[in-house]
Structure 1
Amino acid sequence: MKIIVVSVFVALICNFAHAQQAPIVGVWEQLPVADGHGGPNAVRRNIVFVDHKIADDTVFSGLVDAGTKSSVLCCVKVSKNSSITLPELLKKYQWDEDIADHLKKITGWKYIYEASLVDQSVQNAGMRELVKDLTMPPALSPYSAAIISVKITGEEVNKKFTTSDGAISFSTQSSQNSNIIQYKFSVNGEQVKLTEGTFPD
């Protein structure tokens, strides 16, 4: 009887801990890569660099600094089985030298996953407009944004907001001298900072 009670108690604790898991944050990169079949067109690949391992298939919202608020890009989806190491990522696709160098210099992450955009019917207006702009010929412009594992349905959100799993704050800081952009999150009081190089205009 004691064994059964203890087992149930442990299971309840595990379920509670899973339900209370803080949102995962990171950087989403949508980057052009040479057509692997030798064709003339570039293919766009979605990659996310995140601060925690993804236990389940997850949807992320993009956050873009818009002054007093953040614009929202909904959404990017990631399979828990799509993890990849940086050496594997660099070897898997025919990256341009500048893009490969950019990927190597992203900091603050612990795990990398290949990703994809949600279906167009689920995207918000900001994401649909971005996709339209990025797919205009020659479709070679790279793009990146901060992400959080929360589906935000609105077009914008305050710099400080709450989710079912905690309190979030987000800010962006650019350094023109070093061409570095910093994404700063506070997730339930825990500070997370990710950096990447800026892309040329």
Structure 2
Amino acid sequence: MEKRKLGYVALEKPIRHGWFREVVITRKVERYRYKAAIMEVYAKMQTYHWGKTKADAQEQWDEATRGFYIHRNLPTLSKRQFNKLSQKAQGLCTPFQFRHEKSHKLITRFYVRIPKGVYKIKFSRAYVTHSRIVDPEIESELDWIDSQLLKPGYYEAEQVLNRYHWDHKFDNYLRFKKENKQVKQTLRNLKHYSADQLIKEDVSWEIN
């Protein structure tokens, strides 16, 4: 939270940083009475994909297309995004379902139906215009917190939870269940210590 509050500072000179392949709204949108609904839907879209080169940006776009997140050059909307639209804007969307490639869950997304003349696809140069403000004291404290994860028990818990929570393959799931039992037992043992006792212990930099 404190790190986010620091914010950003504008650079005197923007730095070139790759390309965007993006959807942009054209002036023809002014011709339509439901312009407000079109702009409302557009504001909810992920309208660009970034890459170091034009080819990289195109590859990111193609990958999103294969994953059903882009249809006929228009990004689709998630159910959460759709629910935040007004009734008129929702009228420009059509639901469809597909199975996720990894989890195999049935996912609902929404095609966007706006006139072709209202938008176009283009590549544009990307720039870094701001730099994050860094507080050395906060960075030092975050490094100290990370070092605590190297203690016996903490390190194993962090590794198990980060490695397997996203993986739905059955063999990894079984391995996770087995290791998770060990982690839970370790966490139960740690409950017998107060926070002050844990903090005062020497940090072990050896990974068991």
Query: Aligning the two structures, in what range does the TM-score lie when normalised by the shorter sequence?
Result: under 0.3
Task: Specify which structure has the higher proportion of helix.
Answer: 2
Task: Specify which structure has the higher proportion of strand.
Answer: 1
Q: TM-score, normalised by structure 1?
A: 0.22
Q: TM-score, normalised by structure 2?
A: 0.22
In terms of Rg, which structure is larger? 2
